[in-house]
Structure 1
């Protein structure tokens, strides 16, 4: 038997998201694209070179908000359909039309930042006090001011923005258009392989032959594209390094952290403390799971499995709706209505099909839905992914209380609401079912999905990034083999000597698109640190904490990441929340040892 992914057109429409909520037709989208281009041209004509008077600045920002909101709608309509059907040339053509308009519009818009940055600091502070709805926007202008270039240089960089974004596009082409995976044999059957099948199913399979054989085939294909993918990634980070130096930063890492408004200390702390203190708990956990599966050895292909259990049953997307409402209902009526709306209005793409992007994400329109991408397996792991993405949806739907210019919080905080939902879901289930078998199963799922994914997988990516950027700034030579060795060393350091980490594990860096989004990977562990603390508070004192938590989510970017966490009741200025989170994982492993 050979399993094959269905084509997009073969998928039941109820398992797909509804992008008609953005524009009712491609024709309407194109009409709005023309209107957007005209709107941006008028904005440039009306305001460029004139931002010296407070009244004119307020008028410009009011108009700019409208431009940003329309651009968001257009970009999502252009690219969301392509995310689920990457080989569709008609959809690619629609996306290309947006790219062409956006490339011209960017410098016509971006003069706003450059001209405001040239203004006197005292004047900007006055504006901030008078226009509080844009306070965070003005804070960002003031923070960027020391690193601002001459307006002509800023305009030149803005014109080159599409070129700077090309490495990420090239990565996607290699991954989704060029890579094809051979079938593999397991248990006397021939099975198809792909990014989606491997990452969403085979890698987590409790069938050792399927898991290990699929991994061997998967990495065999990745290896063929190692050097091309390395060249793509290295071109991206060299672009970042050039801009960092132009703007006067001491290092590329400092440049990337600046956009998050996060200190180097917080970044290094997440990596160093987790590498040292979480690793022993995770080694203990994996050994418990391996013993339960009767494994003869523990290879890298075995690290992500959970305990074997009769409770490991698949559920349908429709069943997951009530399941998550029951678990997250503590967050209030409006939050439950948001979950219902996401199902009823088809914000969620559950389908598994050929040409679909891997992983999961949530993309929210300021004036519209929160689109969630999944590849639904129905296993508890996937249910937790959905809880995670609904956390992002709830966050950004609430953040709409802010101006669109003060909407996106620091990446350091961005994963807190999503990971809090994962922990809250599992803790609710644990409280409601005291059966030892179920408790063991769910604790295993919580560790293997929530903590493994966010505090091991992504944290090891962060450690890899730190080493790569350090070598880059030290002007050391980098290529595909060196990147693989860096990744392999990081993985081996975390897991120690008792695991058989083969050379193929070094190829894992090739799987992660987050490397093209700055220093994103470490923020998962930062968010989970806040999320774990919040889940505990929500359980222990919901009457007081729920309202405060939802209020924090509604603040958007109006506070820094540290202040947002503090507003919610978590002080990340010290390492205590992180150490408490690690201790909590240790307590879960302790309990698992008692249960099995």
Structure 2
């Protein structure tokens, strides 16, 4: 049996360099105390925000500088526990950070409440008196949009003080998955015994060409999840109940209206994204499932086989260094400023790529303003990992540029847009690989399957999460208790409705709702499909128009969050209020599947 790797044994070059945030943990502890003390700088403006333009500008600048320090402290703690959530010291740091942030949030919650006392005409006049306030115009107007849903200052302060409690469902879920879950070892097709963990399953075994290993790993995965289903159901039910009750308390028409508000997206756009893709894509993906079953020679295509490679004996290897250079070559079209950020990310330890006990599963990019982005992946020396890395580098490149060109309050766009820069990088990588391997039919087929992996991830996995989430919130608003049985039944129903009879489902498929932290992040899952819809159209523009399209895209990235999502996307030449754009993206997926099927029938 292979030994499991502990964090202390991981080579330094495979880990991220947290000294760019703080030289050591003692410095972080000092900064943690300082942000508590420095909250008084914000409190000093209490009752004065609407006094005059100069005071408001000074307050906003002070708040922005303070927020930058708070973010740095919070991100450091989060990165520690993400790299090794099994370490009690890291758990302690995360808990201390969470408690401190909740206390600070309570003290300075007045800031937003006082800004809400301003009217649009007040803001216009203040900007005339102090033109520099124009920088904060969108920030203030976004807050004013919440006006009719804000409660009394006393209640808002109380809710803020309860921040740690309100975040408990997500924290319990995350801590349990990282620290408590233990999985039985698994055997592969040759009878070898292999270690099993969630990161190993999600980053390696689920995609294995070895059907015995893939299915054994799935069974181990499901068996462990089965033991936690009632606890996780209670945890998720608490999160849903929290959101439903907050939506009532804040007088929204529905929990959906409340959760879409910060995204600045209409319900029509939200439902279009879910409905159009579910309706139009299912037929294409069922065709792919039949092709996969045929090529793998399986009597039945099980749910756990859907991510298996179409050509099991062809799984290109690549080192981290080789993949890094390939990605840089693929993204060269984006120009020097963008590439500069990419090179730094890949060579200056912005990326944590090790596999170790206690590491968070999946991949993410965290971008503390004023420092640089940090990327978490688990590297497995497969070319597929290059697509994951390119995706996270897309987030990094976005916030690298936004951070250089915007103030802190203007860096974050709506989550509706957030996955567009990341998925565009994947599409550019695929285009580059297709061009450099045009005389290799087998490699071209493999590249198409990787592209389909991107669409599967965003248009199937996350979109069906969104469909499940929509159903669960509807049930909660009707008063249906969200037990484990209800959640498993609804998840399985969503999957079966999409895949039809092309896939054989077992009870474990219904447990899929337990895998994702996204359910604790509002209406986040469906936004993956929105971002990929944008990037699909953008990649088409770049192929057809070249530099003018690239220039438009770079300007959009540099704009950060200074515009509303529809306006931001329109700057890229795309109108997301038109469902036709969604259909164009779905048709593109269909064309990839048709091309793949044709290549096997030749």
TM-score above 0.5: yes
CA distance in 2, matches of 1:433, 1:254: 47
Instruction: Identify the match of residue 535 of structure 2 among 531, 534, 540.
Output: 531
1:570 corresponds to 2:570 = no
How far apart are the structure 1 equivalents of 2:305 and 2:462? 17
- Going from structure 1 to structure 2, the CA distance change for 1:419 and 1:148 (only over 3 Å counts) comes to same
CA contact (8 A) 1:306 1:445 kept: no
- CA offset digits 1:105-143 (Å, max 9, x no partner): 112222110011022332134345642211220121121
1:480-500 CA distances to partner (integer Å, 9 max, x unpaired)? 110000000000000001221
Cα distance in 2, alignment partners of residues 271 and 564 from structure 1 = 21
- Structure 1 match to 2:172: 170
Matched, 1:239 2:239: no
Aligned pairs for 1:5-24 within 5 A:
5-24=4-23
Q: Could you report, residue by residue, the CA deviation over 1:258-311 in whole angstroms, capped at 9, with x for unpaired residues?
A: 111111111111111111111111111122122222112101011112221665
Q: TM-score, normalised by structure 1?
A: 0.97
Number of the residue aligned with 2:561: 557
Distance in 1 (alpha carbons) for counterparts of 2:114 and 2:305:
54
C-alpha distance in 2, partners of 1:381/1:361? 16
- After superposition, the Cα gap between the structure-2 partners of 1:296 and 1:127, relative to the gap in structure 1 and judged at 3 Å, is farther
Determine if the alignment matches structure 1 residue 208 to structure 2 residue 206: no
Of residues 533, 549, 565, the one that matches 1:545 is: 549
Match of 1:252 in 2: 255
Q: Which residue of structure 1 aligns with residue 163 of structure 2? A: 161
The alignment status of 1:335 with 2:338, answered yes or no, reads yes
C-alpha distance in 1, partners of 2:126/2:571?
A: 25
How far, CA to CA, are the matches of 1:57 and 1:389 in structure 2?
37
CA contact (8 A) 1:181 1:194 kept: yes
Alignment of 1:359 with 2:362, yes or no, is yes
**For structure 1, which runs of at least 5 residues remain unmatched after alignment?**
none
SS class of match (1:323): helix
Give runs of aligned pairs for residues 266-345 of structure 1, distance below 5 A.
266-308=269-311, 311-345=314-348
Is the alpha carbon distance of 1:157 and 1:591 closer, same or farther for their aligned partners in structure 2, counting shifts above 3 Å?
same
Distance in structure 1 (CA, Å) of the matches to 2:124 and 2:229? 50
1:438 aligns to 2:436 (yes or no): no
Distance 1:562 1:428 in 2: 29
CA contact (8 A) 1:380 1:445 kept: no
Aligned to 1:75: 74
Contact kept in structure 1, 2:302 and 2:505, CA below 8 Å: yes
* CA distance 1:291–1:4, change in 2 (3 Å): farther
Equivalence for 1:49: 47
What is the deviation of 1:17?
0.5
CA RMSD of aligned residues (A): 1.3
Any idea what SS the aligned residue of 1:362 has?
strand
Instruction: Assess, with a 3 A threshold, how the Cα gap between structure 1 residues 69 and 567 changes in structure 2: closer, same or farther.
Output: same
What's the CA shift for 1:89?
A: 1.6
**Contact kept? 2:369, 2:408, Cα under 8 Å:** yes
How many angstroms does 1:30 deviate by? 1.9
Secondary structure of 1:554's counterpart equals helix
Partners of 2:141 and 2:71 lie apart in 1 by 23
C-alpha distance in structure 2 between counterparts of 1:126 and 1:392, whole Å:
37
Q: Which residue of 2 aligns with 1:463?
A: 467
Using the alignment, how far apart are the partners of 2:316 and 2:207 within structure 1? 14
Deviation at 1:189, TM superposition (A): 2.1
Q: Is the 8 A contact 1:300 1:501 kept in 2?
A: yes
1:244: how far off? 0.6
User: Aligned with 1:372: secondary structure?
Assistant: strand
**2 CA distance for matches of 1:496 and 1:422?**
29
Pairing of 1:88-107 with structure 2 (within 5 A)? 88-107=87-106
Match for residue 149 of structure 1 among 148, 151, 154: 151
CA contact (8 A) 2:289 2:503 kept: no
Structure 1: distance between partners of 2:204 and 2:536:
26
d(CA) in 2 for partners of 1:498 and 1:581? 23
State the shift of 1:94 in Å.
2.5
User: What are the ranges of 5 or more consecutive residues in structure 2 without an aligned counterpart?
Assistant: none
C-alpha contact (below 8 Å) 1:416/1:528 kept by paired residues? yes
Give the secondary structure class of the aligned counterpart of 1:497: helix
Shift of 1:561: 1.0
Secondary structure of 2:526's aligned partner = helix
> Aligned equivalents of 1:310 and 1:194: distance in 2?
24
Return 348-357 or 285-294, whichever deviates more: 285-294
The within-5 A match list for 1:56-67 is 56-67=55-66
Q: Is the 8 A contact 1:203 1:211 kept in 2?
A: yes
Partner of 2:456: 452
The residue correspondences of 1:495-506 to structure 2 (distance < 5 A) are 495-506=499-510
Deviations along 1:295-343, whole A, 9 cap, x unmatched? 1210101111222166522211111111101111110111111111012
